[in-house]
Amino acid sequence: MSGHSRRVVLGTGLAAVAAAAMRPAGAFAQEAYPTRPVTIINPFAPGSVSDAAARLVAQSLQDQFGQPVIVENKVGGGGLLAGTFVQRAKPDGYTLMLTASSSFSGAALYKSMPFDPVNDFTHIARIGRFPSFVASDVRLPVKTIQEFVAYAKANPGKLSYGHGNNMGQIVGEILKLRTGADIVRVPYRSSPAGVVDLISGQIQMMVPDFGTGLAHAKGGRIRPLAMFSKERHPELPDVPTMDETVMPGFELTAWCGLSAPANVPRDITQKVSSAVEKALTDPVLRQRFVNAGVDVYYGNPQEFLAFVKFQLTNWTKLIKDSGIQPEG
C-alpha cells in the first residue's frame, strides 16, 4: 500500500470519528438500544392480571430486542412504591413500568402523591383494559346484585368486601353510598389473596382480577353479580352491568400500559411503543392477553398520554362522588 493510500484510509477513519462525535445523542440510542437487559417494574403481586400482562409484554420485547427483559414485582402502596421507584430511575429506556389505573388514575385517594401521574413519566404505549366484575360468596342466599344489596341492608355491618387494588375500593364505597348498604371494607395487598378469602367465606364480596375471577366464576366457586363496563362481557354474557342494575350511569375502566421515567429519548420511546404494538397485533399473543384477562387496546405515546389524562379526571370525580377520604 502506498503512503498516499495509507493517508486516505487514515483520513477517512478520522472523518468518521469526527462525524460520530457530531451526531446527536438520540442517533446513538436509536442504533444501540437495547444493549443490555431491560426491566419492567410491575406494581402488583405474581398471579395478578397485571403481572400476566407484564410478562407477556416482556417476552415479546425480549424476542424482538434480542436482550433479556425482566419483570420485577414491587408490591406496596397501591402501586405508589413501584411508581416512585420508576420515577427516580434513569430515563434511558432500561427501566420501564407496567402502568396501571390503580395508582395512575386513583391519585385522589391520597392526600399527597409521591409523583405526578402525567408529567413525571414517559407514557409509551397503552396495552388494554381489565374487564372487572363484583362477585359474592356462593354461600350467601343471593343470586343478583339487587339481592346482594337487599341482603346487606338487612344485615348492616355483618358483611365485608375485599379489594386488592384501588378500583375495588372505589366500587365498594360507591355501592355503599348509592344503595345505603353497610358493608365493612377489608383491604388486601393483592387481588389473588382476597379471592382466596372470598372462596373460603372470610369475606362476602370482592372485585377480583378478571383472569383469576373468571375461572372461579365458571367453576362455581364465586358468584359474579355485575360488570363495571357499560356493556356486558362476552365471557359472562348473562351477568348484567352496574349501569343496568343498582347504579345507573356507572362505568369504571381498569387499564394498563407501559411507561418509563420522564424524558426518555423520543427514538427509544418510539422503538418500545412500536414493539408493543407488534406484540398486540400478533394473533397468538393477542389471544394470550385475552386468556389472561386483558382486553387489548393499543395506543401510541400521544394517544396513551391523552388517555392517562382523561382517566385521571374521570376517576377523580368518581372518588370524590364516593365520599372516600384521602389517606396518608
More confident position, 287 or 15: 287
202 CB neighbour count, 10 Å cutoff: 13
Q: For residue 173, is it within any domain? A: yes
Considering 180, 209, 227, which residue would you say is the last residue of a domain? 227
Q: Are residues 44 and 58 in the same domain?
A: yes
The mean pLDDT of 274-285, rounded to a whole number, is: 96
Q: Are residues 112 and 100 in the same domain?
A: yes
Amino acid making up residue 202: Q
Q: Which three cell numbers stand for residue 216?
A: 372461579
Residue range of the domain that includes 53? 34-129+253-322
Q: For residue 20, is it within any domain? A: no
**Residue 75 half-sphere exposure, CB side, CA atoms within 13 Å?**
14
Amino acid 293: pLDDT: 86
Instruction: Provide the pLDDT confidence category of residue 48 given band limits of 50, 70 and 90.
Output: confident
Q: For residue 328, is it within any domain? A: no
Q: For residue 6, is it within any domain? A: no
Q: pTM of the predicted model, to two decimals?
A: 0.78
CATH of the domain at 168: 3.40.190.10
Q: Are residues 123 and 139 in the same domain?
A: no
Q: Are residues 112 and 261 in the same domain?
A: yes
Q: For residue 295, is it within any domain? A: yes
CATH of the domain at 288: 3.40.190.150
Q: What is the spatial distance between Cα 328 and Cα 307, in angstroms, rounded to a whole number?
A: 27
**Residue closest to 133 by CA, chosen among 103, 175, 176:** 175
Amino acid 31: pLDDT: 57
Least confident segment among 54-63, 79-88, 131-140, 314-323? 314-323
Q: Are residues 264 and 317 in the same domain?
A: yes
Q: What is the side-by-side strand order in the sheet with 133-137?
A: 183-187, 159-163, 205-206, 133-137, 222-227
Q: What is the spatial distance between Cα 240 and Cα 253, in angstroms, rounded to a whole number?
A: 16
**Burial of 302 per CB tally in 10 Å (0-12, 13-18, 19+):** exposed
pLDDT tens digits along 87-123: 999 999 999 999 999 889 999 989 899 999 999 999 9
Q: Are residues 100 and 148 in the same domain?
A: no
Q: Which residues contact 66 (CB under 8 A, 6 or more apart)?
A: none
Q: Are residues 103 and 151 in the same domain?
A: no
Q: Are residues 41 and 185 in the same domain?
A: no
Q: For residue 26, is it within any domain? A: no
Considering 175, 209, 227, which residue would you say is the last residue of a domain? 227
Q: Are residues 149 and 118 in the same domain?
A: no
Residues in the chain: 328
Q: What is the spatial distance between Cα 324 and Cα 328, in angstroms, rounded to a whole number?
A: 13
Amino acid 328: pLDDT: 63
pLDDT at residue 30 tops 80: no
Total of domains in the chain = 2
pLDDT tens digits along 205-234: 999 888 789 999 999 999 999 998 889 999
**Residue closest to 127 by CA, chosen among 309, 251, 259:** 259
Q: For residue 95, is it within any domain? A: yes
Q: What is the spatial distance between Cα 153 and Cα 231, in angstroms, rounded to a whole number?
A: 27
Q: For residue 3, is it within any domain? A: no
Residue that is written with C-alpha cell 409484554 in the block: 57
Amino acid making up residue 247: M
Q: Are residues 76 and 221 in the same domain?
A: no
Q: Are residues 162 and 119 in the same domain?
A: no
Q: What is the spatial distance between Cα 267 and Cα 269, in angstroms, rounded to a whole number?
A: 5
CB 240 within 8 A of CB 227: yes
Q: What is the spatial distance between Cα 177 and Cα 253, in angstroms, rounded to a whole number?
A: 20
Omega before 34 cis (within 30°)?
yes
pLDDT tens digits along 225-268: 999 888 999 999 999 999 999 999 988 888 999 999 999 999 99
CB 135 within 8 A of CB 213: yes
Q: Are residues 119 and 149 in the same domain?
A: no
Percentages helix, strand, coil for the chain (3-state, rounded to 5) are 45, 20, 35
Phi, psi of 22 (to 5 degrees): -85, -10
Considering 227, 244, 269, which residue would you say is the last residue of a domain? 227
pLDDT at residue 29 tops 70: no
pLDDT at residue 9 tops 80: no
More confident position, 77 or 196: 196
